[in-house]
C-alpha cells in the first residue's frame, strides 16, 4: 500500500512539474563581471568570470573565458558587478513538518504531507537555501522526487525518523496508546516515519539500521528533553550510555555519524561519552561541558533561538515556557562556542508553522549579534558543508559544497549588492537574490533580458 501511495505521489508531482522537466537547460552557464564571495574568505574578489559546465564550476578567471561555445549551449549572465556566492545551507531543518501542526502531521495521509512539504521545499530553495540537513522526519520520498526532477527544492541530507525513548522528545503518543506492547504494532508516528521508539540497545540498533537502509546520511537521536514534545521536560536525560553507544556503533559501521538533540550538560556529556560527533542545540550547556566538547572536537549545531517574533506555541503553554527557557540560554551558548573555538554549525530548527519558515533568512542575519557578516556567511556555507561531509560514503551528493571554486558543485546565488557589507540583503531573497543556481541549473533568474543572453 505504501509503495502504491508513493507511486501515485510521484506521478502527480511529475504532472505538476512537467513544464519544469520539459525545458532543456543550457549545457553551460557563464557568469560575467561578478565579484565572488567564495564562502571561505572575508572579502569579495574583483571583477570575475565563472563558467559552469553541467553541475560543476569549471573555470574562475579575472580574464575573459574563451571558447565557451565548445561546451555546447551556453547561457551568459552579465552580473553587472553583483556578488556571486555559494548557496546557503541550513544544518537543522525539518522538511516534512514545516506547514503542519503536530496533530496534523500525525493524523494526515502521507501523500498529503508530501504535497505540503513539496510546496515548502520550493519556497526554501527560493529563499536561497540550496541544501538542508534534515534532522527528523520522513523526507526520503521528497528527497527522491527533488533529486529526480519531479519536485523543486534543496538538496536534502536526511536523518529519517528521529529515534527517541518512551516519554522522550519525539514521543507524541496519547495516553490511550500506552502501555506499549513489546514487539507490538508500530505507533502512528512510527508508521509515517516521523520518529521511532527504542528502549534498549538492541532496539536502538534496529531503528538506526532501518534509517540507514532507507538512505539516511546521518542518524538523529534525542538524548534529552525537548520543547515541542508533550511528555518531555527539558531537564530529563533519555538514552542510557549503552543505548547511545549502540547507535554510534551501528552508524560508524556504515561510515557515518550520530547527532543528538540535547540541551543540558548531563544529556550532552552522556552523548560525548558514547562517541556522538554532533550536538544539536545545547543551549543550556555550562562552561565545563563546552570545554569538553572542544577537547573532543565534536560539532555544535546551534540555532539562534530568541524571545522575539511570533511563536508556534500558545502563550502560557508548557511548550512556550520551555521555548523561553531555551532562548534565554542562546547568548551564553554562542559565547561558549566562541570562547572554546568549537566547530559551530548554523541552523534554524523551524517546526509546525508556515509563517515561521519565512523567517529562515532572518534567523541567519540575526547571527551578527555574535559574529561578523563574513563569519556568519562562512558558517552558513563552507562550514556547514564540512559538517555535511562527515557522512562519508553515505553522502548523497558527493562533491564539494558551500564554496565557489573550480571543481565544486555549482550551487550559487547572485546577490544584488554585497552581503559582506550589508548582510540584511539576505533578508529579502525575492528582491535581492536575483539568480539562484542549484546543481548547475537555474532555479530562478529575475534579471532583465538584457542581462542574460544565449547564442
pLDDT digits (tens, 9 = 90+) for 328-343: 999 999 999 999 999 9
Q: What is the dihedral of CA 147, 149, 153, 154, to 10 degrees?
A: 30
Distance of CA 316 to the CA centre of its chain: 30
Q: Given the C-alpha cell 508553522, which residue does it identify?
A: 353
Cα separations in angstroms, 27 against 23, 24, 68, 323, 444: 12, 9, 11, 48, 17
CA 290 – CA 269 distance, rounded (Å): 10
Count other C-beta atoms under 10 Å from residue 430's C-beta: 10
Residue pLDDT tens, the chain, 455 long: 444 444 444 444 444 443 343 345 567 999 999 999 999 999 999 999 999 999 999 999 999 887 766 666 889 999 999 999 999 999 999 999 998 877 777 778 888 999 999 999 999 999 999 999 999 999 999 999 999 999 999 999 999 999 999 888 888 777 777 787 777 778 888 888 889 999 999 999 999 999 999 999 999 999 998 887 777 888 899 999 999 999 999 999 999 999 999 999 999 999 999 999 999 999 999 999 999 999 999 999 999 999 776 666 767 676 777 788 888 999 999 999 999 999 999 999 998 888 889 999 999 999 999 999 999 999 999 999 999 999 999 999 999 999 999 999 999 999 999 999 999 999 999 999 999 999 999 999 999 765 555 44
Packing angle between helix 287-295 and helix 265-274, nearest 10 degrees? Answer: 20
| Domain over 20-87+401-453 is classified CATH 1.10.260.40 | no
Packing angle between helix 110-126 and helix 2-16, nearest 10 degrees? Answer: 40
Q: Which of 361, 366, 372 is nearest to 330 (CA)?
A: 366
CA 116 – CA 120 distance, rounded (Å): 6
pTM: 0.91
Task: Work out the angle at residue 146's Cα, subtended by the Cα atoms of residues 138 and 395, and round it to the nearest 5 degrees.
Answer: 70
Q: Which of 161, 230, 234 is nearest to 198 (CA)?
A: 161
Domain ranges (residues) in the chain: 20-87+401-453, 89-394
Q: Grid coordinates in use for 41?
A: 574568505
CATH number assigned to the domain covering 89-394: 3.20.20.140
Task: Work out the angle at residue 440's Cα, subtended by the Cα atoms of residues 408 and 405, and round it to the nearest 5 degrees.
Answer: 25
Residue-by-residue DSSP string for 36-59:
E--SSSSS--SSEEEEEETTEEEE
CA 52 – CA 74 distance, rounded (Å): 9
Q: What is the dihedral of CA 27, 31, 62, 128, to 10 degrees?
A: -110
Amino acid at each position: 500500500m505504501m509503495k502504491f501511495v508513493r507511486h501515485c505521489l510521484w506521478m502527480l508531482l511529475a504532472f505538476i512539474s512537467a513544464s519544469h522537466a520539459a525545458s532543456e537547460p543550457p549545457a553551460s552557464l557563464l557568469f560575467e563581471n561578478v565579484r565572488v564571495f567564495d564562502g571561505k574568505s572575508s572579502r569579495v574578489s574583483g571583477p570575475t568570470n565563472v563558467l559552469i559546465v553541467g553541475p560543476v564550476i569549471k573555470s574562475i578567471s579575472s580574464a575573459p573565458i574563451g571558447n565557451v561555445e565548445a561546451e555546447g549551449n551556453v547561457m551568459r549572465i552579465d552580473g553587472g558587478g553583483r556578488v556571486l556566492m555559494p548557496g546557503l545551507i541550513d544544518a537543522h531543518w525539518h522538511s516534512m513538518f514545516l506547514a503542519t501542526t503536530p496533530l496534523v502531521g500525525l493524523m494526515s495521509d502521507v501523500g498529503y504531507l508530501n504535497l505540503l512539504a513539496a510546496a515548502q521545499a520550493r519556497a526554501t530553495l527560493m529563499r536561497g537555501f540550496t541544501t538542508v540537513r534534515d534532522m527528523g522526519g520522513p523526507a526520503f520520498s521528497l528527497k527522491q522526487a527533488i533529486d529526480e526532477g519531479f519536485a523543486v527544492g534543496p538538496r536534502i541530507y536526511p536523518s529519517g525518523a528521529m529515534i527517541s525513548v518512551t516519554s522522550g522528545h519525539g514521543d507524541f503518543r496519547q495516553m490511550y496508546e500506552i502501555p506499549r506492547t513489546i514487539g507490538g504494532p508500530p505507533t502512528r508516528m512510527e508508521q509515517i516515519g516521523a520518529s521511532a521508539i527504542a528502549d534498549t540497545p538492541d532496539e536502538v540498533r534496529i531503528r538506526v539500521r532501518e534509517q540507514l537502509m532507507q538512505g539516511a546520511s546521518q542518524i538523529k537521536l534525542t538524548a534529552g528533553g525537548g520543547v515541542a514534545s508533550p511528555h518531555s521536560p527539558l531537564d530529563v536525560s533519555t538514552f542510557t550510555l549503552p543505548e547511545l553507544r549502540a547507535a554510534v556503533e551501528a552508524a560508524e559501521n556504515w561510515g557515518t555519524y550520530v547527532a543528538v538533540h540535547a540541551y543540558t550538560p548531563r544529556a550532552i556529556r552522556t552523548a560525548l561519552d558514547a562517541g556522538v560527533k554532533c550536538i544539536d542545540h545545547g543551549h543550556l550547556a555550562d562552561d565545563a561541558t563546552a570545554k569538553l566538547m572542544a577537547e573532543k572536537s565534536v560539532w555544535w549545531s546551534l540555532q539562534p533561538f530568541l524571545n522575539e517574533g511570533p511563536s508556534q506555541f500558545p502563550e502560557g503553554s508548557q511548550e512556550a515556557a520551555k521555548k523561553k527557557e531555551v532562548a534565554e540560554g542562546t547568548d551564553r551558548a554562542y559565547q561558549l562556542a566562541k570562547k572554546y573555538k568549537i566547530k559551530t554549525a548554523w541552523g534554524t530548527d523551524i517546526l509546525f508553522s508556515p509563517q515561521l519558515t519565512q523567517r529562515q533568512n532572518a534567523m541567519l542575519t540575526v547571527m551578527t549579534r555574535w559574529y561578523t557578516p563574513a563569519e556568519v556567511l562562512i558558517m552558513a556555507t563552507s562550514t556547514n558543508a564540512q559538517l555535511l561531509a562527515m557522512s562519508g560514503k553515505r553522502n548523497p551528493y558527493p562533491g564539494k559544497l558551500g564554496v565557489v571554486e573550480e571543481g565544486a558543485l555549482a550551487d550559487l546565488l547572485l546577490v544584488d549588492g554585497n552581503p559582506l557589507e550589508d548582510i540584511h540583503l539576505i533578508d529579502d531573497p525575492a528582491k535581492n537574490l536575483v539568480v539562484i543556481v542549484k546543481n548547475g541549473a537555474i532555479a530562478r533568474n529575475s534579471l532583465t533580458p538584457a542581462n542574460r543572453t544565449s547564442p
